[in-house]
Structure 1
Amino acid sequence: MKHVITFIITIMILVACGNQKPISSPSSASDNNPLNADVTAMHNRHEGLEYMNAYVKNYKTLKDLRLIRYTIEGDPIIYDVSYDEGLFSLTVDTTRDQFGNGSVETFQCQEINKNESLNETKYYLTQCDNHNANGDQFELLKVWHNVLEQDHFEFTLQIDDRVIRSKDSHFSQKDLQKIYKTMVYNNYLAKKSFDKSCSSDANQTTVLKVYINNGDRYYEWDSCDQSRDAKRMNEIKQTILNLYNDSK
């Protein structure tokens, strides 16, 4: 009888454990955009800067912006911006930040601006109420693209048989800065997905190798590729070609 009771108790424990819901973990940048972000920023890697730039110019049409900035630990902080009747409403949600104060705050602001230089680009709201961190200004996002802050930066661009190397060409420091800025804007460190199935009689294959600090990146795509990642890489490619031709 004891064995029967022990067996029944064991079965009950196993069933109870099986019915337990898994403990949910904080969302991370590797999730497939579960928080419906328009723009994400994690460790100076940015996705969706095209929308950020478009919103600054066309906020009356686009109305809403959701920016998610991830902490060092990978927790999302959500910035929701909406425009209506001449005012921007900003809601900052830190409830998913395990090491933050876990609050939801709302501010009213009158303008959105972008301040762009060779070294950095800042997006911010101004004339905001209830915000004392920097007067009446609230910084939404800062993008660093100062190539001098990198320990090492080189690239090799090959288009069919034509090869352009940063160390062999007459690129000025200002040129390299512009190229690096374009790379950062187009999130060059992110994993790329190119269309390998396209074909064209006039197709060209482009290879870009980037050597950054102690690592390197390799990209190969075709001119017939119309994917989003190919268009981004073509912007980098065109920037390099334009500056190379100007340096001759």
Structure 2
Amino acid sequence: MQHSKWLWILAIILVFLTACNESNQTAEPTAKPTEENDSELNADVVDMHGGISGLDKMENYFQEIKKQKKGDLRVVSYTIEGDPILTDLAYDGKHIDVTFDYTRDQYGNGGVKSFQCGKLKREENPTNLSYYLTGCEGVKGETWGVLETSYDVMRQDVFEVELRYGAKEGEKQTIQLNDEDKQEVYKQLVLANYLNSKPTSDECPKGKQADNYLMKVKINGGGRTLNWNACGSHESSKPFTDIAEYIIYASKHPTKTSENVVYGYILEVKENQILIGEDLTAADLVSLERVKGEDLANFNITFLYVETEDAEEFSEGDKIVMKVDEVLEEGSPGRVRASDIKKINE
């Protein structure tokens, strides 16, 4: 009983730092949105510089289209200056009509584009999630990106999380997570939109006691403190409770290392060598169509020259997963030797 009591009041402090040269997400948006709020714009999904509200609605819409159920969806994305850009999708059971409205963009040309697409697709990579349209008439590469969020923890200068839980504050322990678990925690925080979402606590029924959670997140120059209990079943609280439970479990049962597995799209094929962009999305691939080798260093993307005897089995535009056997040159573009390269069918 004494052992159970200590488990109940256990407090865990998790602190992990990841450093690198580039950062692709800040703790706060660089600009606030205009006074025209999301409700006035009838937004279903809001993209605030990579922080997504309503991601569940995007996923539900994707699933409904797979079942050929008609429906509409509005995605509102904000520019760095805080101006809203509207993307309206209307599925009639066969095609998706798209209206792209950027008339509110004060620093752009302004206007409305309308076109029709064939399919809505979903792509999940180790460090990003995207929804995009294919078979789009009059659009470059017949591909149009609808929504994308990135969660690559290795691109953050600082990432720290402190977690405390239990009925009361008790003994503190300092723990470390491996790279795979750090990445998963950061991914789930981003998908839960932790910068703009707040978990809600319920008043517990009489006689019932529940765990309380206190989570402090610091990323680069900003921070966020979240506290809630596990008594209720609020939708706003569940993602954060799941994250807390993952941290607690992973501290005792670390995820097995993935042995340098890399995903990417092939940009170039030569004899015994392929060039890939790591964790690219299908929409990224279209935008990089005409990029030359000497221009690769200008992008915030990891490019790799892959030495392999199986290069002739692949084509430009193929999505692959591979195991890196040896790193020959660091950086981007880097150079590696790889085996067990497999094509992924989206």
Instruction: Say yes or no: TM over 0.5.
Output: yes
1:158 is displaced (CA, Å) by 1.5
> 2-side partners of 1:67 and 1:163: how far apart?
46
> 2-side partners of 1:29 and 1:143: how far apart?
24
1:231 and 2:238 matched: yes
1:108 is displaced (CA, Å) by 0.8
Give the equivalent residue in structure 1 for 2:113.
105
> 1-side partners of 2:188 and 2:171: how far apart?
20
CA deviations over 1:124-145 (Å, ceiling 9, x no partner):
000100112xx01001111010
Q: 1:214 aligns with which of 221, 225, 229?
A: 221
CA deviations over 1:137-166 (Å, ceiling 9, x no partner):
00111101011111111212211157887x
Where in structure 2 are there 5+ consecutive unaligned residues? 1-31, 256-346
Say whether the 8 Å CA contact 2:201–2:230 is kept in structure 1.
Answer: no
CA deviations over 1:94-115 (Å, ceiling 9, x no partner):
1111122221111111111111
Say whether the 8 Å CA contact 1:114–1:124 is kept in structure 2.
Answer: yes
Structure-1-length-normalised TM-score: 0.80
1:210 is displaced (CA, Å) by 1.2
> 1-side partners of 2:152 and 2:143: how far apart?
24
Say whether the 8 Å CA contact 1:77–1:94 is kept in structure 2.
Answer: yes
> 2-side partners of 1:112 and 1:57: how far apart?
10
> 2-side partners of 1:121 and 1:149: how far apart?
16
CA deviations over 1:181-239 (Å, ceiling 9, x no partner):
00000000115262354445131111111121122221110111333321231232233
Identity %: 33
Give the equivalent residue in structure 2 for 1:131.
139
Give the equivalent residue in structure 1 for 2:200.
194
Structure-2-length-normalised TM-score: 0.58
1:122 and 2:130 matched: yes
Give the alignment of 1:141-180 within 5 angstroms: 141-160=147-166, 161=169, 168-180=174-186
1:43/1:163 Cα in 2 relative to 1: closer, same or farther (>3 Å)? Answer: farther
RMSD between aligned residues: 2.4
Where in structure 1 are there 5+ consecutive unaligned residues? 1-25
Q: 1:35 aligns with which of 41, 56, 77?
A: 41
| Secondary structure class of the residue paired with 2:225 | strand
Q: Comparing both chains, which one has the higher relative contact order based on Cα–Cα distances under 8 Å and sequence gaps of 6 or more?
A: 2
Amino acid at match of 2:241: N
Give the alignment of 1:67-82 within 5 angstroms: 67-82=75-90
Say whether the 8 Å CA contact 1:156–1:163 is kept in structure 2.
Answer: no
Following superposition, which runs of at least 4 residues in structure 1 exceed 4 angstroms of deviation? 161-165
| Secondary structure class of the residue paired with 2:237 | helix
Aligned residues: 219
> 1-side partners of 2:147 and 2:74: how far apart?
12
